[in-house]
């Protein structure tokens, strides 16, 4: 069974949380934290945190379609963040923390529309996840890459990221990467 590598870009609050989850998903081949869909090209983390760039904190998730489908990638996404809070995930508030799926192909857009509709029905029409083509993507600074893996004892990681990783492990046990 041979698949291909596909990439989708996801915004679900702080990119450290989303990155930490997808780094543990079987079938995911690469995860990169970055910024996209704002007015500023190649913004700094500080600029994004100020909330005036329009950029979202995102992760680019590359996955092997022979091992995991886009639908499964999105099902994980909707479990590990709250798609019903506008510009907010927990105590992280601002447009940079918005819920978003930034597609790379028309096929991804179609699958995402279907999954969003299903999740929206479960949440009684309260889903605020935006669905747009990825634009003006730039990679986040090196110190943001693999943040949870490199700083598991840091306060935010211990109290915010770790519970999301644990929720993923419990909900999607069969999808957890070994090792």
Residues recognised as catalytic: 14
CA atoms within 13 A on the CB side of 76: 30
Q: To which residue do tokens 């870009």 refer? A: 9
Closest C-alpha to 25, from 46, 49, 8, 40: 8
Residue 7 has a CB neighbour count (10 Å cut-off) of: 16
Two tokens at 22? 């997808």
Q: What's the helix, strand, coil split of the chain in %, to 5?
A: 40, 25, 35
């Amino acid at each position: 069974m041979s698949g291909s590598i596909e990439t989708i870009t996801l915004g679900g609050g702080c990119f450290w949380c989303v990155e930490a989850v997808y780094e543990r998903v079987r079938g995911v081949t690469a995860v990169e934290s970055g910024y996209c869909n704002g007015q500023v090209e190649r913004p700094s983390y500080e600029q994004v945190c100020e909330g005036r760039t329009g950029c979202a904190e995102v992760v680019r998730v590359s996955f092997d379609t022979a091992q995991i489908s886009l639908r499964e990638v999105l099902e994980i996404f909707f479990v590990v963040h709250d798609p019903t809070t506008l510009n907010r995930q927990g105590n992280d508030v601002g447009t940079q923390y918005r819920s978003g799926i930034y597609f790379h192909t028309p096929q991804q857009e179609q699958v995402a529309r279907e999954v969003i509709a299903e999740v929206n029905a479960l949440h009684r029409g309260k889903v605020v996840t935006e669905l747009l083509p990825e634009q003006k993507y730039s990679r986040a600074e090196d110190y943001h890459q693999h943040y949870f893996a490199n700083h598991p004892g840091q306060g935010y990681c211990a109290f915010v990221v770790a519970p999301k990783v644990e929720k993923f492990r419990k909900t999607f046990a069969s999808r957890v990467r070994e090792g």
